[in-house]
Amino acid sequence: DDSDMVPQDKKLIQLNGVLYPAALCSEENFKALESFEAREDDLMLVSYPKCGTTWSLNLLNDMVQTVYNKDPPNMIQILEFGAPNKYEKLNEEPSPRVLGTHLHYDNIPQSFFNKKIKLLVVFRNPKDTAVSFFHFYNKNPMLPNYSSWDTFFEDFIGGKVCWGSYFDHALAWNKHIDDEDVLLMTFEEMKEDLEAAVKKLSKFCGFSMTDEQVQEVAKKGTFTAMKEKISNIQKEFADIFLRKGEVGDWKNHFSEAQSQEIDAKFEACLAGTKLGEMLKY
Ligand code: A3P
């Protein structure tokens, strides 16, 4: 066991067979989450890491700020992150709360389903997700480093990365894509027409935003605008979470064999499904 060789803040823990960064998630958090109470007007973002979490949380916060004149929270919005006492603090936060999670469908607190909370689910094509995740592992002080892309690629395909297999997440959501309280959006669709994406999201949330308000939120949600805003607050965070923001960066990393391998896995999991069509790349 060489786990002692890894600096404490880069340690991973395994919960129910899935890896998580020990500096962010703990067994206590998962215990506390079992009894987490959602509120009817919570807005919840669900994403596999690197699919557009920071981006869509930013959009949701800006929308809530516009519609409710409510300041965005200063606490980390990802449910499973932080000290276990965060759940008490979350109980005190005024509504509507904007929350996020990378948890697999099966591990999302039951309360969100019982209360029919609106779930925004964001996905991104698996190739760009993998590339983004590789760089994230190497830049984030809470994750171990990968010296080579090839090693990371194997772990990504095999689901041996934090939060588990991209394909497990996609397979689970594919069954719920038409659920009433679910809106599935893609990174690529946000990239293609952000204003249209904000409009769709606003409608799903039941907000009545004017065209000007939609445009304003979209303007604040571009890569450049977000990078500038977040850099002014916390430079490191901006560097770690806003890297390139492009579609197709996978072409600079994948070998032909790797491209074929992930295509085959994608086909085996999602061929002919609605989600499969949405994530064609
Ligand atoms: P890249 O590493 O490909 O640049 P997450 O927030 O889920 O961790 O995802 C991070 C990815 O989303 C990074 O991808 C990041 O650059 C990209 N991203 C964040 N905000 C963005 C924006 N406003 N426009 C485009 N991409 C954005």
Q: Is the CB of 47 under 6 A from ligand 1?
A: yes
Q: What is the mean pLDDT of the chain?
A: 94
Task: Give residue 9's pLDDT.
Answer: 82
Number of domains the chain is built from: 1
Q: Please state the atom number of ligand 1 nearest to the C-alpha of residue 225.
A: 23
Instruction: State the pLDDT confidence band at 130, using cuts at 50, 70 and 90.
Output: very high
Nearest residue to 52 via CA among 221, 276, 214, 170 = 221
C-alpha–C-alpha distance, residues 169 and 103, integer Å: 9
Model confidence pLDDT, tens digit, residues 229-271: 999 999 999 999 999 999 999 999 999 999 999 999 999 999 9
Give the per-residue pLDDT at 1.
Answer: 46
Active-site pick, 102, 104, 135, 253: 102
Q: How far apart are CA 72 and CA 68, in angstroms?
A: 11
CATH number of the domain to which 242 belongs: 3.40.50.300
User: What are the tens digits of pLDDT across the range 184-241?
Assistant: 999 999 999 999 999 999 999 999 999 999 999 999 999 999 999 999 999 999 999 9
CB-ligand 1 contact for 54 (6 Å cutoff): yes
Report the b/e string of 116-135 with b at 16+ CB within 10 A.
ebbbbbbbbbbbbbbbbbbb
Range of the domain at 136: 3-278
For the segment 88-120, what is each residue's pLDDT rounded down to a tens digit?
999 999 999 999 999 999 999 999 999 999 999
Quick check: 84 pLDDT over 90? no
What distance in angstroms lies between residue 226's CA and the mean position of ligand 1's atoms? 10
CA 4 – CA 30 distance, rounded (Å): 24
Distance 101 CA to ligand 1 centre (A): 16
Pocket of ligand 1 contains residue 135 by CB under 6 Å? yes
Residue identifier of the C-alpha nearest atom 2 of ligand 1: 132
Note whether 109 and 80 are within 8 A (CB).
Answer: no
107 pocket-lining for ligand 1 (C-beta < 6 Å): no
Task: For residue 270, give the 3-state DSSP assignment.
Answer: helix
Query: Which has more pLDDT, 60 or 85?
Result: 60
Query: Which residue among 102, 132, 192 is best mutated to probe the pocket of ligand 1, counting the most ligand atoms within 8 A of its Cβ?
Result: 132
- Catalytic, 253? Answer no
CA–CA distance, 122 with 53 (Å, rounded to integer): 7
By DSSP bridging, strand 18-21 and strand 12-15 are: antiparallel
